[in-house]
Every structure is written in structure tokens, then in C-alpha cells.
Amino acid sequence: MKQWFSMVLAVWFLAAISGCGSAPASSAPSPPVPAVPVSAAGKEIPKGEHREHKVLIAYFTWAENTHVDNPSAVDPDASTSASVLPPGNTAKLAGWIQKRTGGDLFSIRVKEPYSSQYEACLDRAAREKQNGLRPELTDRVPDMDSYDVIFLGYPNWWYTLPMPVMTFLESYDFSGKTVIPFCAHGTGGLAGSVDDLRAALPESARVGTPIGVYRPDVDSAEPRIAEWLAEAGW
């Protein structure tokens, strides 16, 4: 009997120590998960999926909405005239976005040009904002319904979108579209422009991650624009 008990104990001991030799499955390290580009709305998207979208890059810039009688007399380095000569700050950003996305460019232009004098231009912009005016535009986007992603560029005028951009937003149905803001600004940054953009769009429209570029940094901003687009999967 004692011999039989000893044999049982030995078998139990061998089984116990063999079980200790393997770690539980949950403690084994998981294989690394490959990085997936993330869209502006925060949803995972397969790399390259953006290429299937039809992209519009619409932008408003002072330089294409004014007239300068004597361009050679304008100092391009002066803070008040940095964007009054073509192509303009926002147009430069739009060109780099077009270069990477292959989208179509559209310049938002008013029928009544703004003054090329900085203070006079700001005064008119202030009146338009205060009175909720919608300046008439010269052109419409052909076949706007075919675009599902719209990059929208503008300067910060009085802490929000220029009123011609509001005219643009109210001229089309943005339902189901993704609108991605980019802004050239002074010390005010993006201010309230993105919130005002959201308020102007239908609920089904998505607003992508915006980018703001400080006006003196625009000329060297192409790498930053490329990084911003890459982070969103473009």
C-alpha cells in the first residue's frame, strides 16, 4: 500500500513540474501591429485609399482678389503686403496640396475686388463680417457633386473665414463630403474659423484635421504641408 502511494505521488509531482515549464498564452508578447494611416476624422483607412477620392482644392487669397497698379513698388517682405502679390500665401499652400493629392484647383474670386491697401481691405472685411454680407463670386465649380473631398484654404480675416468663403460654402451642398481646412494667418492663428466652418456645413459633412501656417513661414512650409497630408493618409 505504501509502495502504491509513493508511485502515485511521484506521478503527480512529475505532472506538476512539467506544467510549470510553459508560460500561459496570455503572457506571450503579441506581434507588432503595422501602422495604419489615420484619416482626418480619426478613422483607420487603408494606405492609398485616398487616391480613389475625387479631390478639390478651393482657396481664397487676397492676391487674386485685388488689383495692384504698380507691382514693382510693392515690398514683398513688408508684413502688410506679404500676400498682395500673386500667387499669394493661401495659393502657395494650395499648390503644394495639389502636388501631393493630384486634386483640382479652384480659386474663389469676388466680382468686386478688394483694395490692395491693407487697412482698406481689412475695413471692408470687417464691414462684411459685421453685417453678415456674402460677396458675389465670379465663378462656380463645375460638377461640384462629383467631389467628395474638399481642401478649403483661406486667410484668417477678423478671427474667422473671409465672407467670400462663406458665400462659397453656401453655394453648394456639402452633405456627405469631407472638408479639410488650411489657413495662412498672422498672430491670430486659426482663431474661430474651424468652428465657424463646422457651423456652416450640414451635419453629414465631416471636417478634417486643419492646418494653420503663420504668414512669415509660408515660403518654407512645403515640408510641413507634406507631413500634415502624410499623417492623414495622403
Question: Domain extents for the chain?
Answer: 46-231
| Contact predicate 174/150, CB 8 Å | yes
Mean pLDDT of the chain: 81
Residues 16-38 have pLDDT tens digits of 333 333 332 332 332 222 222 33
Paired with 137 in beta bridges are 110
Does residue 15 surpass a pLDDT of 50?
no
pLDDT above 50 for 229: yes
**Residue 25: what pLDDT?**
30
The mean pLDDT value for 129-144 works out to 97
Give CA–CA dist 190/4, Å, rounded. Answer: 84
Per-residue pLDDT at 37: 31
Please give the angle made by the CA atoms of 146, 89 and 184, to the nearest 5 degrees.
80
For 46-60, b where at least 16 C-beta lie within 10 A, e where not — what string? eeeebeeeebbbbbb
Q: What pLDDT, on the 0 to 100 scale, is given for residue 73? A: 76
Per-residue pLDDT at 148 exceeds 80: yes
Looking at the DSSP bridge assignments, the partners of residue 67 are none
What is the pLDDT at residue 17?
32
Closest Cα to residue 151, out of 96, 86, 78, 89?
Answer: 96
Q: pLDDT, tens digit, for every residue of 40-89? A: 333 333 444 555 789 999 999 999 999 988 887 777 666 554 578 889 99
- The DSSP symbol for 107 reads E
Say whether pLDDT at 191 is over 50: yes
Q: What is the per-residue pLDDT for 209?
A: 97
Confidence of residue 137 (pLDDT cuts 50, 70, 90): very high
pLDDT at 51: 59
CB proximity list for 81: less than 8 A, separation 6 or greater: 74, 75, 118
Contacts of 145 (CB under 8 A, 6+ apart): 173
Give the DSSP per-residue string, 11-49: HHHHHHHHHTTS--GGGSPPPPPPP--B-TTS-B--TTG
Nearest to 198 by CA among 178, 221, 223, 218: 178
pLDDT at 226 over 70: yes
Q: Assess whether the previous peptide bond of 87 is cis (omega < 30° from 0).
A: yes
Tracing cell 467631389 back to the chain, one arrives at 147
Question: How confident is the model at residue 160, as a pLDDT?
Answer: 97
Question: What pLDDT does residue 142 have?
Answer: 94
CATH level 2 (architecture), domain 46-231: 3-Layer(aba) Sandwich (3.40)
pLDDT (tens digit, 9 = 90+) per residue, 94-132? 999 999 999 999 999 999 999 998 899 999 999 999 999
